């Protein structure tokens, strides 16, 4: 089991001024920041990142949204990081997210759900490497 996961603070949460509180929460929950950057995805890059969802009906909307404004990308480290982080952010749909989770607190809707969290150790590595070179992973 790897001890790292990958996250993005999505355009809605950055635009709404929640990025600082969200990063603070990551740290308070015991995640160490391995890598962190403010960046903006082009539509092409967002499409590449979410290529696994290409056939889904919401793919176009997802790509438009994820390239609509700046995001924070980060690699985080903690024991059992992938599962622990998914618990911290809550269900994909904020309406179904548990009280106190990041999506319950800060997400706008199913599509604009404040944060991304990797769903497996393998994807955490792929997604982290998508944004950060080896020299940027501490
Ligand atoms: P994320 O964990 O980043 O991975 C894929 C994203 O697709 C997901 O968060 C949601 O924001 C988005 N998504 C999933 N289902 C839908 C849907 N039915 N409509 C719009 N967006 C969706």
Q: What is the pLDDT of residue 45?
A: 98
- Cα 70 from Cα 50, distance rounded (Å): 17
Residue owning the nearest CA to atom 12 of ligand 1 = 111
Q: What is the pLDDT of residue 1?
A: 60
| The total number of structural domains that make up the chain | 1
- Cα 30 from Cα 43, distance rounded (Å): 33
Residues with CB under 6 A from ligand 1: 53, 58, 61-62, 92, 110-111, 113, 116
125: containing domain? 4-136
What's the CATH code of the domain at 61? 3.30.70.141
Confirm whether 116 is a catalytic residue: yes
Closest ligand 1 atom to the C-alpha of 109? 11
Closest ligand 1 atom to the C-alpha of 50? 5
Residue 58's closest CA among 11, 12, 113?
113
pTM of the model: 0.97
Residue owning the nearest CA to atom 18 of ligand 1 = 58
In this prediction, the residues of the chain whose per-residue pLDDT falls under 70 are 1
């Amino acid at each position: 089991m790897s001890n790292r996961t990958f996250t993005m603070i999505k355009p809605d949460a950055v635009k709404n001024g929640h990025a600082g509180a969200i990063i603070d929460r990551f740290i308070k929950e015991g995640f160490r920041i391995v890598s962190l950057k403010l960046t903006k995805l082009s539509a092409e890059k967002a499409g590449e990142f979410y290529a696994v969802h290409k056939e889904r009906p919401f793919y176009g909307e997802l790509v438009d949204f994820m390239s609509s404004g700046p995001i924070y990308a980060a690699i985080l480290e903690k024991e059992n990081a992938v599962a622990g982080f998914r618990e911290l952010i809550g269900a994909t749909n904020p309406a179904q997210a548990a009280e106190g989770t990041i999506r319950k607190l800060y997400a706008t809707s199913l599509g604009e759900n404040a944060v991304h969290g990797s769903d497996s150790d393998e994807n955490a590595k792929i997604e982290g490497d998508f944004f950060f070179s080896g020299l940027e992973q501490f």
